[in-house]
A = this chain, B = another copy of it.
Amino acid sequence: MSVPVRFSGILSPVVTPFNRDLSPDPERLVDHCRWLLSKKVGLAVFGTNSEGNSLSVEEKFALLDGLVDAGIEPGRLMPGTGCCALPDTVELTRYATELGCGGVLMLPPFYYKNVSDDGLFGSYSEVIERVGSSRLRIYLYHIPPVAQVGLSIDLVERLVHRYPGTVVGIKDSSGDWNNTQALIERKWDDFRVFAGSETFLLQTMRAGGAGCISATANINPAAIQQLYAGWQSAAADSQQQGLDDFRLLMHRYPMIPALKAVIARYTRDTEWGIVRPPLVELPSDQYQSLVAMLEKRGFSMPGRCD
């Protein structure tokens, strides 16, 4: 098994398809992942927008197996493995690492609030020591608006210094550009800073960051990848504006149900619209207005839905 190459570019927190009985559907996940890879988008499965925290550890094992068995290159996978309970995080991280995943995206344990940096350092440290693999590559996941437990820059620095070949990057979904910029400016050795959405993609690239991990890359991967590839071109600012317009449109709706509704519409497979509780499917009036707006823009998902 080769040594993992550090990620860069665009990744998507891949939405998770469910059957009518709410079980995950590995086959449709494979289809969607293949399409994303064809657009040069990496696979951050089990992220926030994947409903990753609505899946059990066993379900995640089975989905990872399904992807790898279908021939998806594990080096392109960055599964979310951070759970509330230490043994769950350890088990999942070990499984992903042994499967050859290029890295894992690791939330801190997120039930207990107002915990100390020492406590969070202890969490990551226990996971790293217990997994005990030279192949482990951790991308930290900082998303205080959802997890309500964030990672201070001091904590990130402690982890990078203590585990330099293991803690190799971060996804910053704080929505706070100053924080993303500060992370990039620390210039830790080959540390990869990903913006939490394409909103900050151009700024991130100009500051020396690695790319972005974006929900909307599930449906709009080519345009986001195009900006990544050509961020130094003259067209970059207007491309960023185009991405911002598209994201603004999507933000009129609850993101996960809306992403799934779009895939359902363009694949003509209504089951793609299914979400697990506590989320609810996009209401039909919102579905109609979203589809109308997309059609007005001439939106399509080439290669996915034709």
A residues adjacent to B (C-beta < 8 A): 22, 48, 51, 53-59, 84-88, 91, 108-113, 115-116, 118-120, 122-123, 125-126, 145-149, 276-280
Contacts and interface: CB of A to CB of B under 8 A. Distances in A.
Contacts of A120: 277-278
Nearest to A109: B278
Nearest to A52: B111
Contacts of A148: 113, 148
Contacts of A147: 111
Contact of A56 (B51, B85, B146): B85
A113 to B, nearest CB: 6
B53 A84 contact: yes
A22 B85 CA distance: 11
B278 A146 contact: no
A86 B276 contact: yes
28 contacts: A53-B85, A53-B109, A54-B85, A54-B86, A54-B109, A54-B111, A54-B112, A55-B85, A55-B87, A56-B57, A56-B87, A56-B88, A59-B87, A86-B276, A112-B278, A113-B145, A113-B146, A115-B278, A115-B279, A116-B280, A119-B279, A120-B277, A120-B278, A122-B277, A122-B280, A126-B277, A148-B148, A149-B278
A278 to B, nearest CB: 4
A41 B228 CA distance: 61
Copies of chain A in the complex = 2
Contacts of A122: 277-278, 280
| Residue of A56, A110, A122 most packed against chain B (CB within 10 A) | A56
A85 B111 CA distance: 13
For the complex of A and B, the 9 pairs showing the least CB-CB separation, nearest first, are: A53-B111, A122-B277, A119-B278, A123-B277, A115-B278, A56-B87, A53-B84, A56-B85, A119-B280
A252 B54 CA distance: 35
Nearest to A145: B113
| Residue of A123, A146, A276, A278 most packed against chain B (CB within 10 A) | A278
Contact of A86 (B119, B126, B277): B277
B110 A111 contact: yes
Contacts of A118: 280
Nearest to A23: B87
B56 A112 contact: no
Contacts of A85: 53-56, 59
| Residue of A58, A113, A277 most packed against chain B (CB within 10 A) | A277
B109 A277 contact: yes
B116 A86 contact: no
A146 B111 contact: yes
Contact of A22 (B51, B86, B145): B86
Contacts of A84: 53-54, 84
Nearest to A149: B278
Contacts of A59: 85, 87
| Residue of A54, A85, A115, A118 most packed against chain B (CB within 10 A) | A85
